[in-house]
Chains A and B, each alone.
Chain A
Amino acid sequence: MSESVLNVNNLEVNIKSSKGTFPVLENISFNINKGEIVGLVGESGCGKSMTSLAIMGLLPNQAKWTKGEITLSSKQLQSLSPEEMRKLRGNQLAMIFQDPMTSLNPVLTIGYQLIESIKLHLQYPKAKAKTYAIDLLTKVGLSRADKLIYQYPHELSGGMRQRVMIAMALVCNPTLLIADEPTTALDVTIQAQIIDLLKELNKKEGTSILFISHDLGLVHDLCDKVFVMYAGEIVEQATVQELFDNPQHPYTKGLIQSLPLPEKKKERLYSIPGTVPGIHDRGQNCRFSSRCPHVTEHCTTHHPSQIQISKTHVVHCFLSEKGGTTSG
């Protein structure tokens, strides 16, 4: 067995609104091993970003971690003080974000933003920090790095900025890199380059990556394991192979069906009817029941429990329980 880098167990996060307190994340449990790339997929509003912010210890003020444990290479995150948590960020735990256009500070140079991290976490003197910054920028595939450190974010393209973000995340060789839709705001060719860069990092440095995306195609190319989230819960988890060969949950099937593929060119692209229920309308039923094509009476009154399909494949759906009904 390979060693676990991140273990989330039974995580629950509540959010306070004017109408009361509601759970945004419930029963979130998953594990990421060393050197694994794990995908977290789902539509907007499923709680993907909330999960990553909970791991980073950066939940917004209205949100509160109420239950469960998060373990990062044998460190219990819930027992750390805010100061200890801060020291962990940018060190063992790093994150890159969706929109590289706005994720960098517009009035500070690339060099400043990179070097401040190096000085903070590694206590390098100025000259050494600068050399290291140039090395990092070169490592993420940016040329003329010695000039680049004096430039401002607006002078760089989106792809270059995302590379800078990755370089910043790599300062301390993190054990876990969380990538929150890192390619959504980029055009397709640049997207492929960034994905290749992440793959290369994973291979060379053994960095585990939690890849958050709504794009199953990208997840298929990049990840080893996938967690499918729906309305604040994980509804299915499997290896990439299992998930695409034998999807169990109707939601996963819907997501796979709505992928635009060349052989489906003539057909009308499938879309799952309806939208994710808001946090106020989540009751004791299967949360997908309002949109599920195979919904039964039972689904609208009971919450499905976990069903083991194989050693690595788990689903939360009544249909899989009965067996047979889900094939096809």
Chain B
Amino acid sequence: MAFLLRRCFTFFVTILIVMIMTFLVFRIIPGDPALTILGMDAEPEQIAALEKELGTDRPLYEQFLDWAGGVFTGNLGESLRFSQPVSELVIDRIPVTLSLAIMSIVITMFLAIPIGIYSAKKQGSWVDTALSITTQIGMAIPSFWLGIILMLIFGLTFKWFSPTGYVPWSENPSEALNSLFLPSLAIAIPQIAVVVRYLRTTMIEQLQLDYVRTAKSKGLKEKSILYIHVLKNALIPVITIFGMIFADVLAGSLVIEQVFALPGFGRLLISSISYRDLPLIQGMVVIIAFIVLLMNFIIDILYRWLDPRIELK
């Protein structure tokens, strides 16, 4: 219980810091929303009137408290550009970005874990060396470039997957899966490379330990030794990097959405920044931060479940 309380407290404080930072950053960097809306030739009176309407003429702390109060009561404010509540604009786009992120994580886990184990098992062989070179390359390639290449090969040449566009899950789940597969893969590949390398190292470390010898002396099959005895131990350090990977994946999907023309968070966020649509930007950043923190929270609990030596108190 003490653990959960402490964890909730840090969760809240982190969200607050993220809010303060996003709020301040867009007040410090040049570019005034009223000026952007009205254009460079606007009269000073017009600007002043709009600033009063938008509330940007008030002191910073007042503006912040106003906004923060809204956020904690579930009101993210209204977009300047679309004159629509931020929550409404965001809700349409969340499924696209979240689907991308979740699919990438799933692909990463399903490919990285068996490959990592295999590489550790074949330690020192030519397969291991080949895998090590491949993962090195995989880590070095930016995902947007991978996205373009995947689109070119599997979308345009072989036509196995739709190269661009998005079909909502509610309309046609298999089409939705099809449209999200290539971008998810593009995001996942560098992450797979990271996890494979990390898992390989921890597996090799674990394989030297006494309990593996005990497992062998019990006559267990190699499969149960690797996939149950060693993997459960090796996943403990690996699971901690999954928190970072999730943040990476979310950032990656913001970029990949541009490449595959997916109507997700990324496109809305980038266009809102150039428009100085402050309430929309702030709202989206808070939501992204919330998702990442929530994911880390889940990972923390998972970590405690995997390692019984840490008590869930």
* Chain A residues near B (Cβ < 8 Å): 56, 58, 86-91, 94-95, 97, 99, 102-108, 116-117, 120-121, 152, 154, 165, 168
Contact = CB atoms under 8 A, between A and B. Distances in A.
B interface, how many residues as a size bin?
Answer: 20 to 34
Given A103-B210, A103-B211, A121 B219 contact: yes
15 contacts: A56-B217, A58-B213, A58-B216, A86-B219, A86-B220, A88-B219, A89-B217, A99-B210, A105-B211, A107-B233, A107-B236, A108-B229, A108-B232, A116-B220, A152-B309
B2 interface: no
Interface string B221-235: 100100011001100
Nearest to A121: B219
B218 A90 contact: yes
Interface majority SS on B: helix, strand, loop or mixed? Answer: helix
Q: Which 10 A-B pairs have the closest CB atoms?
A: A90-B219, A89-B219, A90-B218, A102-B210, A105-B211, A95-B217, A152-B308, A103-B214, A103-B210, A107-B232
A168 B215 CA distance: 10
A97 B232 CA distance: 22
A193 B218 CA distance: 24
Interface in B190-216: 209-211, 213-216
Contacts of A154: 308-309
A96 to B, nearest CB: 8
B303 to A, nearest CB: 12
A90 to B, nearest CB: 4
B62 interface: no
A94 B308 contact: no
A105 B233 CA distance: 8
B91 interface: no
B307 interface: yes
A88 B242 CA distance: 40
A154 B209 CA distance: 16
B211 A102 contact: yes
B306 interface: yes
A200 B14 CA distance: 61
A104 B214 contact: yes
A53 to B, nearest CB: 9
Contacts, number: 73
Contacts of B218: 89-90, 116-117, 120, 168
A89 B233 CA distance: 23
Interface in B263-313: 306-309
B313 to A, nearest CB: 15
Contacts of A116: 218, 220, 224, 228
B162 to A, nearest CB: 43
Contacts of A88: 219
A117 B306 CA distance: 22
B180 to A, nearest CB: 35
B210 A97 contact: yes
A217 to B, nearest CB: 25
A107 B217 contact: no
Contacts of A105: 211, 214-215, 229, 232-233
Given A90-B219, A107-B308, 14 more contacts: A89-B216, A89-B219, A95-B217, A102-B210, A103-B210, A105-B211, A105-B214, A105-B215, A107-B306, A108-B229, A116-B228, A120-B221, A121-B219, A154-B308
A108 B306 CA distance: 9
Contacts of A121: 219
A91 B219 contact: yes
Nearest to B210: A102
Contact of B214 (A87, A97, A107, A120): A97
A121 B218 CA distance: 9
A94 B217 CA distance: 7
A109 to B, nearest CB: 8
Nearest to B309: A154
A22 B5 CA distance: 61
Contacts of A87: 219
Contacts of A90: 217-220
Nearest to B212: A105
B96 to A, nearest CB: 38
A242 to B, nearest CB: 32
Contacts of A120: 218-221
A11 B267 CA distance: 72
A288 B69 CA distance: 84
Contacts of A102: 209-211
Contacts of B219: 86-91, 117, 120-121
A108 B220 CA distance: 15
A172 to B, nearest CB: 9
B213 A107 contact: no
A50 B89 CA distance: 69
B6 to A, nearest CB: 23
Nearest to B231: A107
Interface in B136-191: none
Contacts of B221: 86, 120
Contacts of A117: 218-220
Contacts of B307: 107
Contacts of B213: 58, 97, 103
Contacts of B210: 97, 99, 102-103
A198 B109 CA distance: 46
B309 A58 contact: no
Contacts of A94: 217
A165 B306 CA distance: 23
Contacts of A106: 211, 233, 308-309
